[in-house]
Amino acid sequence: MNGKVHVYTGNGKGKTTSALGLAMRAVGANLNVYIGQFAKGRKYSELKSLKKIKNIKIEQFGQNYFINGEPTKEDIDSAKKGFEKIKNILKSGKYEIVILDEANIATFYNLFSTKDLIQIIDSRAKNVEVIITGRMADQKIIDYADLVTEMKEIKHYYQQGVIARKGIEM
């Protein structure tokens, strides 16, 4: 089976959640899943549950969530370190599913380039399915992908001042 490239983007909620749903389906089929989270360093609730599942490995390559600001030198260094690790994981073929959570944000903020991202995906083992999440997907990524889903925000309770809730948004 040749792996495909999925992109989940847009300004609505559900990009990471959709990728995690695909990860759960893959585990049910006895596939191995690797999740690399860029621009994230907080201890989200999914980290606790996913670490309990033997077929899933998850790592974060961020210091905090800087989306409302600019990345720090530490954010950039963490993303570059993660990018190098992902390059090797994609080539190894050890994981049939590789989720690059917030990689679109990482390219938007120039933590690594879209060109380099496409290049490492191109060099992956042929059986590896790649899922790229995050707002502001570069048009080159959209054109490159086999499947693109845009999450569109129509209405969100954040607009009424509701903050992120444990177990729902974090």
Each residue's pLDDT tens digit, 50-65: 888 999 999 999 876 6
DSSP string for 100-148: EETHHHHHHTTSS-HHHHHHHHHTS-TT-EEEEE-SS--HHHHHH-SEE
Cα(49)–Cα(127) distance, integer angstroms: 26
**CB contact at 8 A, 89 and 34:** yes
Contact predicate 9/151, CB 8 Å: yes
Instruction: Read off the pLDDT band of 15 (50, 70, 90).
Output: very high
Cα(125)–Cα(129) distance, integer angstroms: 9
SS3 state at 149: strand
Q: What is the mean pLDDT of residues 1-22?
A: 94
- CB count within 10 Å of CB 1 equals 8
Residue 135 is predicted with a pLDDT of: 95
Give this prediction's pTM.
0.91
What six digits make up the tokens of 17?
């959640």
Q: Which CATH topology does 5-160 take? A: Rossmann fold (3.40.50)
Domain boundaries, the chain: 5-160
The mean per-residue pLDDT over the stretch 18-24 comes to 96
